[in-house]
Structure 1
Amino acid sequence: MLRLIGGYLGLGMVAIAIILALSPLPLDFQHLFLGWGIIGASGALGYGLMGRWVQQLNQQQNYIDYLFGENPFPVWVCHRDTEQFLAVNRAAMATYGYSEAEFLQLRLGDLNGDRYSADGYANADHPPQLYHRTRTGQELTVELTQIACYYQNQPAQLMIVQDVTVQQQTALALQNQKVQYRILANNVPSSVVLLFDRDLYCTFAAGTDLQSFSRDHHSLEGRTLAEALPPEIQACFEPLHHRALEGESFTLELPLHDRIYLMSLLPIYDARGEVSQAMSIAQDITERKRLEAQLHRSAFYDPVTQLPNKTWFLEHLQLQLTCCQAGKTGFFSVFFLELERFNSVKYSLGHSWAVQMMVATAERLVSCLNLADPVARVGDHSLALLLTNLYTPLDATAIAEYIHQQLNQPLEIDSQELFSSVAIGIAVIDTPDRTEQSPEDVLQAADTAMNYARTQEGVNHAIFAPQMSEAAAARFVLEADLRGAIQSQAFEVHYQPIIALENLKLIGFEALMRWQHPRHGWIDPSRFIPVAEETGLMGLIDWWILGEACRQLAQWQKQWHGPQPLLLSVNVSGALLNQFGLRDRLRQVILTNHIPRGSLKLEITEPVLMQHPSAIQTILDPIHNLGIKLAVDDFGTGYSCLESLYHLPIDTIKIDPSFIRDMEHNADHLEMIRMMLNLAQSLNIEVTAEGIETPGQLAGLRSLACRYGQGYLFHAPVPAAQVLGLIERDRLWGWQSDNSPFPVE
């Protein structure tokens, strides 16, 4: 107010000075009176204006609050130094989705989106264009108008936000020549910006890194791409610019010489919306890539030993768990090893010796176990490793014992021999439920098992077993007994007749494994065969059964008087099919036992055929060429791909007993059997029905023209000693004489 009054008084004094300057001395009183009149008028005018100003001042605060709060654009005030929000209007809250209280807890940088660049704040010629992200994740392109001010006695910035997302999208779609040159004018460090027209003539070249292309902008502009750039660079650039001229925008990393460039290429459209030029922006990111590599190594590798660290191992373990859940990999085990002599070496020979001992131990483990992945350091004196396709306690124990044997050998460090004894804890991931664990829980389980091993006298390794149940304990015992049975050949092979249903004559037998446990008696195959398959023992069992059955077949052929050689059908697992040298070993079995061609048939289940449909043909074709027939066992259980029957050398399909069991009372099953028979007939494949138990089932299958069958209606599986009696019975009476009723065991 005082300034306003003084201003008007000053105006009066200026008037007096003008009168004095224009009037001759002595001063005329009329002029003096006129001067003082002007002063008075000025004062009156000032008084009137001052009153009006006071009235406006009283309304100013409410008006400012109204303009701030009701502004349709987001407006906020933030601290000039810390960028902490001090005040926001309703439009800002509505646009960004934060409440006022939440806004006041944020800083300006918290709104930045993924494409945010701090360069936006440095452009004084135009409101900076930034990328903000709302609370819901929506990205906005905004322009900020900034005004320096004070708010509540704090240095602040008043910012008005304009959402230009739509405008930016439109501008990018319809760039004109002016926009091109504004983009080119931007100063991008360590970069090169080039424009080429549709004839690949360079129309513009700029950037701080042109020297890396061995050219300056004068020699680049006006020349073709082939003329402007060295041949090795031109060979890389030309196909990229062709893609951009076809309307494609893309970014890639491009190594040139000893540098790495981030290349961004985009089409430039003219006023008609047609691609007229291609722009390429190459930024040298060599240093950034080097720093990224350093950061990655510091994040995932131990700086002392240079071994992968715990973070790396947990990520690797998480990936393995995820793949196992998806069925992409098999089960596995995690080994946790504690170097028991680490501290003693550390405090006697020094820390560097202890570190070298740890590194040498890890290298020994990688070498002796032939590991594809490195061993990780997961503690001060602890290592961890992951072994795939190792998912049984006995195998894990065998590996642990092997590790102890290897580490009992001295480690040579600087011509000094050191011994690295370890305590081992093992977490076996052998069920789908266990794959649901977190990697931290799995590693903790192995660590817990290691500590358990340390507390047990005479124990140097242990397998983690939470809530060990009697069933799980029995399974481990069964597995151990199964290994013992393999070593002692405690299995037996029983044989079930296969009958030609048309004339009810014997054509052969199916070999079935049986196991009489010394304490538990006969054990059902459904109990021990899955264990054998899981533990990798099934391949050994298969070869034993195959050899024993073929030996018996050679003897029975001498007593056989049928029109065709006696047929022997043997079940084999996927483990046997995947063994190296399978064909040669089968050939040796056939030659040794003088098995006629077509007399031996291998039965393979549908799941085995479907695991690797492309690879299985390369396995089966050589087997079939040996004169060995092939059958699909348990056909119709839902695993098979019918298309595979067209390509694989299959001679027989065996209808699963579940269909035969219900065929008399289930029309759907009867129709399924009919469809299988029609399919097999069209492919010239034989069909054997398994599980025939009633005369009604037999009659139904014969009415459908099913050629072969087996089941308890004819005979239960018998030991080898009773087979000759069945052969003689078939020769004398067949399988339908009243003198030879169907015996059932």
Structure 2
Amino acid sequence: MRARAGVRALTPDPAMLERRLERERLARREVEEIAERTTRALYDKQQELVLFEAVVLASNESTTVEHALRGAVEAVCGHTRWPLGHAHLRDPSSGDLVSGLIWHMEQPALFADFRRVTEEMSFPAGHGLPGRVLATGGAAWIADVELDQDFARKNLGVRAAFAFPIHAGGELTAVLEFFAAGATAPDAALLEVMAQIGRQLGRVVERIHAQEQIAHQATHDSLTGLANRLLFSDRLEQLLAHAERRGSIAALLFLDLDRFKDINDTLGHNAGDQLLRDVAERLRAALRASDTIARFGVGAEFTLARFGGDEFVVLCDELASEADAVRVAERFQRALLVPFVLEGDEHVVTASIGIVVAGTEHREAASLLRDADTAMYRAKERGPGRWEVFDEKIRSRALARVAIERALRHAPDAGELRLHYQPVVALDDGTLQAVEALVRWEHPERGLLHPRDFVPISEESALILQLGAWTLRGACEQAGRWRARFGDRAPLPVSVNVSARQLAQAELPAIVGQMLAETRLSASDLALEITETSLIEDASVAAESLRELKSLGVTILLDDFGTGFSSLSHLQRFPIDALKIDRSFVKGLRAGSDECAIVRAIVAMAGAL
């Protein structure tokens, strides 16, 4: 074909076409590389999110710090494909990092020596990989541990390592470290992810610590740090269940400090609290003494708790015999022999201990507590610093006391109480000067009971208030009848015993005043007898009550003088009108005897006052 006139034929330049194709290939390759990098970055980011989500889920479901850290170690090892991971915990006493015994190992045999060496070491700040994190508070990476002069665990199968911290409450509490078998260059992106995981674990640790603190406060005594009644009751139920299945011997000790109230009242509540803390520490030390295993066996277990006030209880499990329980009680009493220093002075404190042993037979927790408490009171009756093992005799005595208390509660309304009057005569002419009202109980089954058979029981409960009020009213009514019948020749005043519980009532003067008004008895016809023990139960309340009673015109007698404290400060502080010398001095009275000298001295002192 011929070309048109004036039109020139174009011939393609091969070199130019080749350059154009090359540019297109380069552009396409660059686009593909960008796409690949973007895809890889997105994948890596997705994997990091998967890792972070796995750690979050696992840690949020954890109820202990150890469980949360173990889940994190396993998740990080699974993501990085590094075969070895480990968690260090901060030692609260030294501040160093020690092995938390939390590991992930793909080949346990390969890393057995590394694990052994690690668990034997501790890392202070600045030493080793964990110490480096502890010192800086940030993550650290070692590309090749064989080239790191500060890495002490060389030649044990690892080459690369990185670690990051976990902070909780502003304190570094743990360090997680991971190891690879070959040298590995630092990965800044990975370390950033680890930092995020560390922050998340820190929040989890704070939550777990807060939950543990709440649980601890709910189950432990805030003053002494011992287990409280709630935790003790739970442990007791578990102990009884285990003892029944295994056939082992378990024992319960109930300990009550003797005359703790005296220290609390005289030195104040701060000193009382300090004493309770010191006693708790002595009891705790007695149970963890170095010879405990030798004396009671490897399997013996003890749970010490504060039951309330000045009462402590101890559960003893896996004992060989009842004698072991007695040895525990004796160890406690020896621990208390060393004086306690309170407010700069030394004070000797003793304890009464009740012991009850539960063998293979089934026993309920409530019955064990009741029996131990009963044995403790029996020990206290025998004197301070004693122990008593619960037995059937104590049980029978306790049941009898319960029966007496139950019947006594209804005795006033049932008309079973009687008032007998003991005359007070002048020794020189034998004239009747006054009378003392003495309560008796006409028991429907046991006949006439002496006060010693029921008054002590009533004093252990609020019944003494009911009994005291009945006695006071009956004596006032009888005194009023005598005054109306005999006039000035009436054998008055009538004296009525007032218990420590009654004297501790701030409203006692008002009660007495009301009874005087209702019975139309003159206050001068009534005398109230108190004991020195009742004066020190609550001295401030007692002093105020006695002053008010004196203002009414009532006579105040101090009974059983010469026993107990017999403190002259009581005679000076309290408005006492007369002293009643204890019968132990009077019954053996004869010329030239020691009792005679004592009585003469008391009479002379009373006359001078």
Query: What is the TM-score normalised by the length of structure 1?
Result: 0.36
Query: What is the TM-score normalised by the length of structure 2?
Result: 0.43
Q: Over alpha carbons, which structure has the higher Rg? A: 1
Structure of higher RCO (CA pairs closer than 8 Å, 6+ residues apart): 2
Whichever structure has more helix as a proportion of its residues is: 2
